[in-house]
Amino acid sequence: MIIAQELRSKNIAEYVLYMWQVEDIIRAYHCDLSTIRRDYISRFELTDEQREDMTDWYGNLIRMIREEGVSESGHIQIIKIVVQQMTELHQQLLQSPKFPFYNAEYYKVLPFIVELRSRGSKDVSEIETCLNALYGVMMLRLQKKEVSPSTENAVKEITTFLGMLSDYYKEDKEKGLDFGDED
């Protein structure tokens, strides 16, 4: 909860990846709040108030997961909306002549996106494809599985690209970006 709040304000891509991990943690505990409280939340050094806040936060996420029918897989609506906002900003950045470095970075990762989409779901946005790739590699690393050098290279480029998008997302939320649409 505390990490999520911090990431949301600093790096939106990391926030999404973190929230996907939280969804998986909740699923691993079968959406059972009492088990999460006993076996997961209890591991953290928290004040009683922080523990209650964290329990409430997980409880709300569990409710959303159940109500939205994503107990087995998928993502809750609040996270889908953030990914959609990232995708919309991505499109605006690509269409504007004011962001040549973003365009250049996009074209560096485009071959990886094309390859990933050829192997996976074509029904998700390019941004979600990038996020899925990073999440998949993160899961491999957590499981201490090997990641090939070509995958490492792709992850490095995708991370740079999503970092740039996250910086623009933050700037757009704080000050508003000028896309140069007005003549």
Within its chain, how far is the Cα of 132 from the centroid?
A: 8
What local confidence, expressed as pLDDT, does residue 24 receive? 96
Question: pLDDT under 50 in the chain at which residues?
Answer: 183
Going by C-alpha positions, the residue among 40, 2, 16 that lies closest to residue 124 is 16
**Distance between CA atoms of residues 138 and 16, nearest Å:** 13
What local confidence, expressed as pLDDT, does residue 72 receive? 95
What local confidence, expressed as pLDDT, does residue 43 receive? 94
Which DSSP symbol is given to 42? G
What local confidence, expressed as pLDDT, does residue 6 receive? 82
pLDDT digits (tens, 9 = 90+) for 53-104: 999 999 999 999 999 999 999 999 999 999 999 999 999 999 999 999 999 9
pTM: 0.92
What local confidence, expressed as pLDDT, does residue 8 receive? 84
Going by C-alpha positions, the residue among 74, 75, 71, 63 that lies closest to residue 28 is 71
What local confidence, expressed as pLDDT, does residue 181 receive? 61
SS3 assignment, position 123 = coil
**Distance between CA atoms of residues 10 and 96, nearest Å:** 24
What local confidence, expressed as pLDDT, does residue 74 receive? 93
